[in-house]
């Protein structure tokens, strides 16, 4: 919460000091990738070489622009394939009968007709790299069904990866599976309707389906949607229900208390589902083949037996050495190009200004947060700040947690950002440009969840404090081996606390609540959990939880934090004190 570097990824200034910094660190602390020549670290000369949907100005390309650009033939074929995939096929792809071209007068009276949106992207890992996806304008359709659908989160994915590498000595391996046309294979309760301009239908599709004969005088073509399709409000839940109906006869069921984890009734197979991407933990070929048989009964699958890519994460498995590295190659470089980042000539070694606490001076341990009196940003600049925060926040939660304190401050101001907010965000981008290829290493462990909890008192505007938690999997040893974080919590307390001790107790309370669902997931993955060790460096917090201090003027503690004592009594959590220098 206070330091300018993450404990798992230290930033030495050069390769010499990198060796000097290792003397007092755990043996699995990973240094960032350093280069002997780093001025500048990146350049915009080769901008837009990987992502084809953004122009050199950083503006997102429309389908009309792509169909008139230098790669128009490529995008025309991709658009034709998408229409063929949705309809009854074309000369290159097999259709799914998701849609049917109809005349306008075939639409029932009183039914809404929506629009189509064309989402273009470049997917280098896919067989068809230039992708066009046609989505339905679901905001103009009335949905009668429940639209909520479970999906996985990063914590569940990281727990599964830890489980695989920790059971690798027993034969566990990771395989990723992608279901093709996942949404397009789902029957709908009732048909929906949309329309598109004739110019957005390639000539071969127009000819094959004789669309000029059914188009209106103003060149609109009307479409009946017969199956689930991207953009429909209920498409996700219909696809999820269909997946359940396919897998349940084979013995696969969602794990209660999770959002994306599944297991088999009798087999050891566990997998995480993120929309149409499966991350599978299996122990033998027969287990994998059983799952593939179930999926192939309704879907067409693409399998990565090496399990190197899942949900945008690159996984470098080293089963023999007992570790896996997760990273997001080129994510930062592509994002900075899209955001039209202008590189500085000097590197930035920390994502935010570090204000060291003044120890030993009474009343001066934490300086007050200065008021931001700088000018407000324009609406366009505000949107850019919000887009940048969203892009960086995903990367921070997935890989580089060292930027989370800075983003925590900035996100609290992004509704009404100022020039000072923009300056802080520029520093974050400079830091990411200096270290664009961070990674997390998960070591094989005993799969015991451990948490280091901390708090920073009065570091946020309006007398707010920040709490943090470092969640990792290790052992019950007195000095456990530090492992890569499965989750890093960084959050501003909504209420104002009266002391540093109360902030620390609030931090333990917040982190302890997050622990409980993680424990359930680990136990479902066949990793039983003892009372979860939660470390705090505040003796007052430890004394309150163990009920061995006399409280005064602490009514707010009575209202909020007795839950901690209850969980200790139930032996679900084990709170203990240690010196702050050991707190990760």
Q: Give residue-wise pLDDT tens across range 261-274.
A: 999 999 999 999 98
Statement: residue 363 has pLDDT above 60: no
Closest by CA position to 414, among listed 405, 424, 399, 429: 424
Give the helix/strand (H/E) hosting 175: strand 173-180
pLDDT per position as a tens digit, 138-159: 877 776 655 566 777 899 999 9
Of the ranges 169-173, 185-189, 339-343, 556-560, which is most confident?
A: 169-173
Closest by CA position to 259, among listed 76, 475, 524, 30: 524
In the numeric block, which tokens belong to residue 240?
Answer: 């999820």
For residue 242, the model assigns a pLDDT of 87
pLDDT band at 59 (very low <50, low <70, confident <90, very high): low
Give the helix/strand (H/E) hosting 67: helix 63-68
CA gap 141, 143 in Å, rounded? 6
For residue 522, the model assigns a pLDDT of 93
Q: How far apart are the first and last CA of the chain?
A: 10
Give the helix/strand (H/E) hosting 79: helix 72-86
pLDDT band at 359 (very low <50, low <70, confident <90, very high): low
Once rounded to an integer, what is the mean pLDDT over residues 301-315? 90
Once rounded to an integer, what is the mean pLDDT over residues 289-309? 91
The alpha carbon of 484 is separated from its chain's Cα centroid by a whole number of angstroms, namely: 16
Give the bridge partners for 271, in sequence order.
262, 280
In the numeric block, which tokens belong to residue 497?
Answer: 């606390």
For residue 551, the model assigns a pLDDT of 63
The alpha carbon of 374 is separated from its chain's Cα centroid by a whole number of angstroms, namely: 33
CA gap 252, 299 in Å, rounded? 16
Give the helix/strand (H/E) hosting 209: none
Query: Do the strands 30-31 and 532-536 form a parallel or antiparallel pair, or are they unpaired?
Result: unpaired
pLDDT per position as a tens digit, 557-569: 665 666 676 677 7
Give the helix/strand (H/E) hosting 509: helix 500-524
Once rounded to an integer, what is the mean pLDDT over residues 29-43? 35
Statement: residue 445 has pLDDT above 90: yes
Once rounded to an integer, what is the mean pLDDT over residues 346-367? 70
For residue 144, the model assigns a pLDDT of 62
Is residue 15 within 8 Å of 36, Cβ to Cβ? yes
CA gap 336, 47 in Å, rounded? 10
Ramachandran bin of 89, using left for φ above 0, alpha for ψ from -120 to 50, beta for the remaining angles: left
- Placement of tokens 């208390």 in the chain: 257
CA gap 459, 440 in Å, rounded? 28
Selected residue with higher pLDDT from 157 and 12:
157
The model carries a pTM of 0.76
Among 20-34, 276-290, 555-569, the minimum mean pLDDT is found in: 20-34
For residue 24, the model assigns a pLDDT of 37
pLDDT band at 40 (very low <50, low <70, confident <90, very high): very low
For residue 547, the model assigns a pLDDT of 72
Is residue 401 within 8 Å of 488, Cβ to Cβ? yes
Once rounded to an integer, what is the mean pLDDT over residues 95-117? 89
For residue 54, the model assigns a pLDDT of 62
CA gap 359, 500 in Å, rounded? 14
């Amino acid at each position: 919460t206070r330091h300018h570097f993450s404990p798992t990824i230290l930033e030495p200034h050069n390769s010499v000091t990198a060796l000097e910094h290792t003397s007092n660190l755990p043996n699995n602390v990973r240094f960032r990738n350093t280069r002997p020549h780093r001025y500048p670290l990146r350049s915009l000369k080769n901008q837009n070489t990987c992502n084809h949907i953004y122009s050199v100005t950083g503006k997102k390309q429309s389908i009309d622009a792509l169909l008139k650009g230098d790669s128009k033939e490529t995008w025309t074929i991709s658009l034709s394939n998408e229409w063929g995939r949705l309809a009854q096929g074309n000369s290159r792809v097999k259709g799914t009968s998701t849609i049917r071209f109809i005349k306008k007068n075939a639409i029932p009276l009183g039914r809404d007709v929506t629009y189509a949106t064309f989402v273009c992207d470049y997917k280098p890992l896919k067989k068809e790299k230039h992708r066009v996806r046609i989505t339905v304008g679901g905001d103009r359709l009335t949905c009668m069904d429940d639209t909520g659908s479970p999906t996985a989160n990063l914590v569940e994915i990281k727990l599964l990866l830890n489980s695989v590498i920790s059971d690798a000595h027993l034969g566990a391996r990771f395989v990723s599976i992608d279901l093709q046309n996942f949404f397009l294979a789902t029957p709908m309760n009732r048909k929906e309707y949309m329309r598109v301009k004739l110019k957005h239908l390639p000539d071969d599709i127009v000819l094959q389906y004789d669309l000029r004969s059914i188009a209106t005088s103003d060149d609109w073509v009307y479409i009946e949607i017969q199956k689930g399709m991207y953009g429909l409000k209920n498409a996700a839940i219909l696809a999820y229900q269909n997946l359940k109906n396919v897998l349940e006869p084979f013995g696969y069921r969602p794990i209660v208390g999770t959002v994306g984890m599944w297991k088999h009734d009798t087999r050891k197979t566990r997998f995480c589902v993120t929309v149409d991407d499966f991350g599978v933990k299996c122990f033998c070929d027969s287990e994998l083949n059983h799952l593939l048989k179930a999926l192939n009964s309704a879907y067409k699958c693409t399998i990565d037996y090496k399990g190197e890519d899942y949900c945008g994460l690159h996984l470098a498995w080293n089963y023999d050495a007992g570790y896996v590295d997760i990273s997001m190659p080129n994510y930062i470089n592509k994002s900075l190009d899209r955001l039209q980042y202008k590189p500085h000539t000097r590197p930035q070694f920390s994502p935010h200004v570090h204000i060291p606490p003044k120890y030993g001076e009474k009343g001066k341990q934490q300086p007050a947060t200065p008021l931001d009196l700088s000018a407000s940003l324009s609406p366009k600049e505000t949107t850019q700040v919000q887009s940048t925060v969203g892009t960086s926040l995903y990367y921070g939660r997935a890989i580089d947690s060292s930027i989370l304190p800075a983003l925590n401050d900035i996100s609290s101001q992004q509704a009404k950002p100022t020039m000072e907010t923009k300056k802080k965000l520029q520093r974050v981008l400079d830091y990411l440009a200096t270290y664009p290829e961070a990674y997390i290493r998960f070591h094989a462990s005993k799969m015991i969840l451990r948490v280091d909890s901390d708090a920073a008192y009065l570091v946020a505007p309006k007398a707010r404090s920040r709490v943090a938690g470092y969640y990792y999997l290790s052992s019950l040893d007195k000095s456990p081996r530090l492992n890569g974080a499965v989750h890093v919590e960084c959050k501003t307390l909504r209420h104002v606390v009266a002391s540093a001790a109360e902030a620390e107790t609030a931090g333990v309370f917040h982190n302890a609540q997050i622990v409980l669902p993680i424990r359930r997931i680990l136990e479902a993955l066949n990793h039983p959990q003892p009372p979860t060790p939660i470390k705090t460096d505040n003796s007052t917090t430890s004394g309150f939880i163990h009920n061995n201090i006399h409280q005064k003027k602490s009514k707010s503690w009575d209202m909020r934090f007795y839950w901690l004592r209850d969980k200790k009594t139930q032996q679900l959590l084990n709170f203990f004190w240690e010196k702050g220098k050991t707190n990760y």
